[in-house]
Structure formats: C-alpha cells, structure tokens
Amino acid sequence: MTQKQSPLTSALRFALYSLGVVSLTTISGPDALAETMDEKYGSAAERMDLTYYGYVRSGIGSSGKGGKQACFQAAGAPYKHRLGNECETYTEQALQATLATDNGTIFKMNTLIAYSVDQQKDFENPSDDFALREANISAENIFPALPGARLWAGKKYYQRHDIHQIDWYYWNVSGPGAGIEDINAGFGKFHLAWIRNEADVIFSSEYTPPDPTTDNPYDEGGFTYKERKIATNILDLRLSDLKLTDDLTLELGLNYGKGSPGDKVPNKKNYDQDGYMGTAQLSYAFPMGGFNNFVVQYATDAMTGPGVGSDGRTSQPSNLFSGSKMTRVINFGQIPIMDRLDVTYVLAWTQMDYSKDIERTALAPNKLDLYTIGIRPQWKWSELTSTVLDFGWDKVKNGAEFVVPLPSTTEPRYKKEFADSQLFKVTLAQQFHPRFGAWVRPVIRVFVTYANWDEIKCPANVVKNSCYPSTVGIGGDRKLIRENFGRATDGMTFGVQMEAWW
C-alpha cells in the first residue's frame, strides 16, 4: 500500500504525466508509475514551489450549407481575425518549478509543450503539430551587483509581443538561447539575449503542373522549393520600461541576425548573410483602465525573411534577401468605454519590399502590402454573460497568386503573377464566463461567423486548375471552401467554442 500523498505531490504526478514527461505507465501500469513518482519525486515535490499554467481552445463547428467548419483568411495574410474563426483544438501545457532559493538566489525551471489537432473526431494524433516549446532555467540575483536581474539558458518564449485579436506575434525571436533579463539601468530595464534557430533557406524552385490525364478539379499542381537548413543567430538588445510620463512608457529593441553555415556547406558565402530589425513600442495606459500600443518596425536584408516578416521568429540568411526591406506600423489596444462595454481594436500596415533575387528565385512579388482593421466590442448583460461582435477587414496587395507559362523553345517554364486580395469577416457570439471583461477566461461562446471575399479575374494564359476566381483570393483550405460554398465568394459558419488560460 502506498503512502497517502499531499495535494502538491499528486498535482506534480498528474502534471508530469499529462505533459508526457513520464511514460512508465505505458510499460508497467499506473501502480508502477505511482510508486516510482513517490520514490523519485515525492520528497522533492514537498519542497518544490510548483506552478501549472497554460492555454487551451477547442469546440465544435460547421459550415452553413454543410461540411466541417471552414476558417476565413485573406490570401497572403499571415494572420486572421480569430473570434469564431478557429478550426482546430490547440493547447499549451506548462510547468514552472522553483528548484532552489539558496544564498538569496531563485532558480526556476520552465517547461512547455504545445500541440494541435484537427478537431474532427474522438481520437486524433497531434503528430507533427506536437512540440516542445520551452525547457529553460532562470537564475535571479545570481550577480550581487545586479539585484533582480535574471540569467537564463534553454528553449524559451522570449519576450514575445502579440495582438491577441488576430493571433499575430509581430515581435518574436523565441527559440533555444541564453541571456540576461531585467537589468536595472535606473531609467529602465536592459535585456540581452542570444537566440538560435535553423532556417530553411530557399535556393531554387520548380513547378509541377496539374496532371493532364486526370479530371481532378482540386489538383492545382504547385511549386516546390529547394531548401538548405542553415543555423542562424539573432542578437537581441532591448530597453524596456522607459517611463516618459506616469501613463506612457517606451520599449526599444534592436535585433541583429546572421547566418552560421558550416564551413564545408556548398556555396557557404550565399548563406553567411546578415540583417537588422529595429522596433519601437509606445504604450499608453488609459486612466479608466485598458491600454493602447503604437508600434513601428523596420527590417533589412536577412531580417526580412518569411519568419520575421510574419511573426519575427527567424531570419533568412541568404544573399537572395540582400536589399529587401520591411516597414510596419501597428496601433492596437483595449479600452473599457463604460461599465457594460469593453472594446479591443487593431489597425496595422506592413510592407515587404523584396529584392529582385527573391522575386526570381522564391517567386515573390516585388512588394507585398498588408492592411488590417479590426474592432471587437463586448456588451455586458451580467457578470456571467455577454455578447461580442468581431469585425475584421484585411487587404493584401499582391496577396493572390496565379501560375502562367513563360515562352520557351525547349521545356515549359513558369512564373507567378499576382493580384490584390481582400476579405471582410464578422462574428456574433454569446459568451458565458465567471465575470465580465475583455481578458476574462475561461469562456464558452456560441458563435456565428460570416465572411465575404473578392472574386478575382484569372489571366487568360493561366495554368489549368491553378486559378479559381471564387477562391484564389482566400487563404487557408481553399479545397474545403470550394466544397462547402461552391462558386460563392461568401460563406457562413457556426459553432460552440471554449477558451481558457491559467
């Protein structure tokens, strides 16, 4: 008979098991797991300050005319207006444990596992969508001259900045690394980090046209890109908490990214490239609560690659990106207008100005402009229920793409042509929650979503099946959208979703 465990020990056992850290139960059964946890972790758990935290969303949805729920996103946009427009189950499960508090120091361990499934049946394997996102240790007060500063090493979500309304991380250099945070500089806090990621760097592309021997309307053919995995390093320098007034603070950041190919990598000089990204964020705290963030970003060369251009995570250290530029302006926030009305909003513009080499090799347009407007008012009926409307509009210059043949005397060659895409989306949801507020979770919401997008005229010489006027301007699962809505350029979905963070 095993000894009765404290609530903390039981919580640790459950958390470790649920995160997949312990797999003994698959070999010897739950009794062996319990005994092993008692012996190896029980005494440590009694002393350990353990925090279990995370995020989850899941639900059920359908399209208005039948078929599974489709999600709506403008072609070429790296984000979408998320309320009533999420088609998967996604979760992040995390543990933080205080390992030691000797000599005035605080050592903490952080782990986080994330995974996503299609949300279509009872048993679903996350397969490639299962990821270890965090595994790091931080040490506070390790330097007597820098009280409050934290030294850290490992995989880490590093000071990410996002817009929850559209689920977009516009400043995000997370990954394996090391650094020191929260150095008190008197006028603010200084942070220094070295982050490393492996990028898939494109060096050529080929197009396979649809199979002419079949009548499959969903065979669009497609481009395949030859890529080489190149380690890249990013040096992250930040100054935060720069107080301009009691309600106004400034954060400044500079990211320097550089490729680090192995010495014998073919054409090494093509990948040993660098670039910069600068960010300034001005944050205002409204007197009645809420906030407004105004952000300006500018990037050059390697730091304009697809990762940085969409969510700031990786650089692309290829000389093909030399000469490319990225400019971004964002304004977003949340304001409680009155006791019964809370509003979140976003306005954003990004311009990717690509080099001629990227136009030729990765077949990108010369410019990609993204415009986004969104507003989400939430009306309180009581502390337990509210109604929310979510309006979103996206326009992407050169977001839609077609494939056309190039004149050739030998074998067929192809290029891309581009057109502007545009999408409007609105969601009405009735929500149930423990209290009212824009950031209150958990929540259960019953929603209906309507989206409308542009029909785009295909070029006369477009490759067969590579352009459907009703769907070429929409991103995501175009096959599903055609199956659900046919030739229409609008559609409706509905469902019930839960969302929680803790």
Q: Look at residue 221 and tell me whether its pLDDT is greater than 80.
A: no
pLDDT at position 412: 60
Identify the residue with better confidence: 154 or 314. Answer: 154
Q: Are 433 and 251 in contact (CB under 8 A)?
A: no
Lowest model confidence (mean pLDDT) among 332-341, 389-398, 404-413, 477-486: 404-413
Domain boundaries, the chain: 1-47
Q: Rounded distance, CA 334 to CA 316, Å?
A: 34
Instruction: Read off the pLDDT band of 308 (50, 70, 90).
Output: low
Q: Look at residue 313 and tell me whether its pLDDT is greater than 70.
A: no
pLDDT at position 27: 39
* Residue 414 CA neighbour count, 13 Å, CB half: 21
Over residues 120-147, the mean pLDDT reads: 92
Give me the percent of the chain exceeding a pLDDT of 70: 86
Q: Look at residue 284 and tell me whether its pLDDT is greater than 50.
A: yes
pLDDT digits (tens, 9 = 90+) for 425-445: 999 999 999 999 999 999 999
Over residues 144-167, the mean pLDDT reads: 96
Which residue, among 179, 181, 176, has the nearest Cα to 196 in the 3D structure? 176
Identify the residue with better confidence: 12 or 374. Answer: 374
pLDDT at position 391: 98
pLDDT at position 295: 98
Provide the mean pLDDT of the chain.
Answer: 87
pLDDT digits (tens, 9 = 90+) for 253-267: 999 999 999 999 888
Identify the residue with better confidence: 308 or 480. Answer: 480
Q: Rounded distance, CA 222 to CA 403, Å?
A: 9
Q: What share of the chain is helix, strand, coil (3-state, %, to 5)?
A: 15, 50, 35
Instruction: Read off the pLDDT band of 159 (50, 70, 90).
Output: very high
pLDDT at position 250: 98
φ/ψ of residue 196, rounded to 5: -130, 135
Instruction: Read off the pLDDT band of 406 (50, 70, 90).
Output: confident
Instruction: Read off the pLDDT band of 24 (50, 70, 90).
Output: very low
- At what angle are helices 7-18 and 30-47 packed, to 10 degrees? 120
- Tell me how many helices (H) and strands (E) the chain has: 6, 20
Q: Look at residue 11 and tell me whether its pLDDT is greater than 80.
A: no
Q: Look at residue 298 and tell me whether its pLDDT is greater than 50.
A: yes
Identify the residue with better confidence: 240 or 228. Answer: 240
Q: Rounded distance, CA 16 to CA 26, Å?
A: 14
The model carries a pTM of 0.87
pLDDT at position 304: 86
Taking the CA atoms of residue 73, residue 79, residue 82 and residue 84 in that order, the dihedral angle to the nearest 10 degrees is 20
pLDDT at position 72: 97
Q: Which H or E element spans position 36? A: helix 30-47
Q: Look at residue 343 and tell me whether its pLDDT is greater than 70.
A: yes
pLDDT at position 3: 46
Q: Are 173 and 195 in contact (CB under 8 A)?
A: yes
For residue 331, the Cα-to-chain-centroid distance in whole angstroms is: 18
- E-strand ranges in 29-88 read 49-63
Over residues 393-402, the mean pLDDT reads: 93
Identify the residue with better confidence: 467 or 154. Answer: 154
Identify the residue with better confidence: 370 or 5. Answer: 370
Instruction: Read off the pLDDT band of 32 (50, 70, 90).
Output: low
Over residues 36-55, the mean pLDDT reads: 67
pLDDT digits (tens, 9 = 90+) for 90-113: 999 999 999 999 999 999 999 999
Instruction: Read off the pLDDT band of 307 (50, 70, 90).
Output: low
Q: Look at residue 64 and tell me whether its pLDDT is greater than 60.
A: yes
pLDDT digits (tens, 9 = 90+) for 345-386: 999 999 989 888 877 777 778 888 999 999 999 999 999 999
CB-CB neighbours of 223 under 10 Å: 14
Q: Which residues pair with 373 in a beta bridge?
A: 347, 393
